[in-house]
Structure 1
Amino acid sequence: MTTSSPIALWTPAARVRGILAVVAGRGERAPVYERFGRRLSADGYTVAVFEADADAAAQWLAGVDEVPVVLIGSDTGAAAVLRVLSQGATPDGAIVAGTPVDLDGVAQPADAERTACPVHLGVLGTAEARTSAVAVEQVPAAADLAAIAVPVLAFHGSADTVSPFAEAGAVLSAVPDIELIETVDGLHDALNDQSHRSVAASIVLWLERLRSGDVHAPVVRLAAGVPAA
């Protein structure tokens, strides 16, 4: 079986702490995730981007040695990631953002629905960031999501009009091991919206927990109180 190569790859300058394979959403190419890739690679994680092909991303991850390996999907890429997980793919974990709940055709959401970040809006306005529409898939049924055997971290904007937060949360609740993070006043492109720095920081914290062997065990936490002098 041949495995497709990523369309873009960002690698750390020093030690690799894990491998992340990103599955792009509707009409997206690698430049959409350049800021994300550079930021996570600066923290020690290799970031590869695949164009609307979760199967290829999962196969590529299966052939690498570093751990953890994590599958990431945004928009329809999130639906595809959830599908391959429900079919038995077992990376060490997965991250989904802007999970769609009611796909109406394959049209890309309007840029203003996707982000309020001026830098990201500029990227979305370039021809290099876009590709032709491809066939998309719905999120798997609840019974299929219940079969997912790896921890999943989900991000979703509280002001997402493309995929409303409450509806997306209800869908994702079928995943057995799910952490859902709400981006306050966030729009659809949760990885690249105005809160992109906080989202990236939350991802790194989750990845470090995943590396520890117990994703539910905190690496850092708020102290109960300051000891008396």
Structure 2
Amino acid sequence: MSSSFSWDEPEGLAARGTLIVLAGRGEHGGVYERFGRRLAFDAYRVRALGDASADPAVLDEAAKLLADESLPGPKVLVGSDTGALYAARLAAERTPGADALILVGLPTSPWTSGSWEAEVKARTGCPTHQGRLANDPRFRRGALDSAPELPELHLDRVQVPVLALHGKDDTVSPVDEALAAYAGVRTVLFNGGRHDVLNDALHRTAAATVVLFLERLRLSPGLPLIAEERA
């Protein structure tokens, strides 16, 4: 079974919910350490899993975490790249325990990098994360060029609140194609953002956007936005 990575709330604070992260092509759960630590600081537990397109056991592991009564709710599935498709599949199948869904960099069409330099720049504009990927022996270079058999997207079958995050400069999943796939879903676009929004140069803003979504979810997803920008 795929190993998971865990980040918990600080000692003395009550946990406010659980995020279950499904990584994308070539990634493992540890790639989301920065995101996990940031959300844990806000008292959310984070469990980050691997690439389900390479290891189907990841889906079983995600289902077990959703069913784990020791983990506090609400429980939110978070998927990046192909992980977004698998997270959406679990939500569409109404896997018990899933209270919400966050989609990040949903893939829309095949993409070819041609080189490692092109791939890492397409993934993230953050020098720190680029360095991590370059020096991570568990990360699989060239995975974005692969075309694994993936589940179809059926957001019309998803009965829980959904948030989509997408970079406007994402060359792996062009924003116009992504917006068509996200139709009807609350979507936040990041100016200058690349494919992996959670690990991009704007990762702090992405994490803050996720926290706002989670805080609203805890109260009631039907309530007005907690923070709303007006011109």
Identity %: 40
Letter in structure 2 aligned against 1:62: A
Asked if structure 2 preserves the Cα contact closer than 8 Å seen for 1:23 and 1:73, the reply is yes
Asked if structure 1 preserves the Cα contact closer than 8 Å seen for 2:24 and 2:80, the reply is yes
Structure 2 counterparts to residues 1-229 of structure 1, below 5 A: 7-13=4-10, 14-52=13-51, 53-64=58-69, 65-89=71-95, 91-103=98-110, 110-131=119-140, 136-138=148-150, 140-141=152-153, 144-173=154-183, 178-221=185-228
Q: Flag structure 1 segments of 5+ consecutive residues without an equivalent.
A: 225-229
CA deviation after TM superposition for structure 1 residue 103, in Å:
3.5
Task: Decide whether aligned partners of structure 1 residues 195 and 218 sit closer, same or farther in structure 2, where only a CA change above 3 A counts.
Answer: same
Task: Decide whether aligned partners of structure 1 residues 15 and 127 sit closer, same or farther in structure 2, where only a CA change above 3 A counts.
Answer: same
- State how far apart, in whole Å, the 1-side matches of 2:41 and 2:130 are: 23
Letter in structure 2 aligned against 1:56: E
TM-score (norm 1): 0.84
* Structure 2 SS opposite 1:149: coil
- State how far apart, in whole Å, the 1-side matches of 2:138 and 2:35 are: 14
Q: Flag structure 2 segments of 5+ consecutive residues without an equivalent.
A: 52-57
Task: Decide whether aligned partners of structure 1 residues 164 and 104 sit closer, same or farther in structure 2, where only a CA change above 3 A counts.
Answer: closer
Task: Decide whether aligned partners of structure 1 residues 139 and 172 sit closer, same or farther in structure 2, where only a CA change above 3 A counts.
Answer: farther
Pairwise CA RMSD of aligned residues? 2.6
CA deviation after TM superposition for structure 1 residue 102, in Å:
1.2
Residue deviations 1:79-120, cap 9 Å, x none? 111112222225110111000001359x99811101111111
Letter in structure 1 aligned against 2:77: L
Residue deviations 1:3-50, cap 9 Å, x none? x67521000112100000000111112331010000000001000011
Task: Decide whether aligned partners of structure 1 residues 10 and 161 sit closer, same or farther in structure 2, where only a CA change above 3 A counts.
Answer: same
Residue deviations 1:38-74, cap 9 Å, x none? 0000001000011122442133112235111000000
* Structure 2 SS opposite 1:80: helix
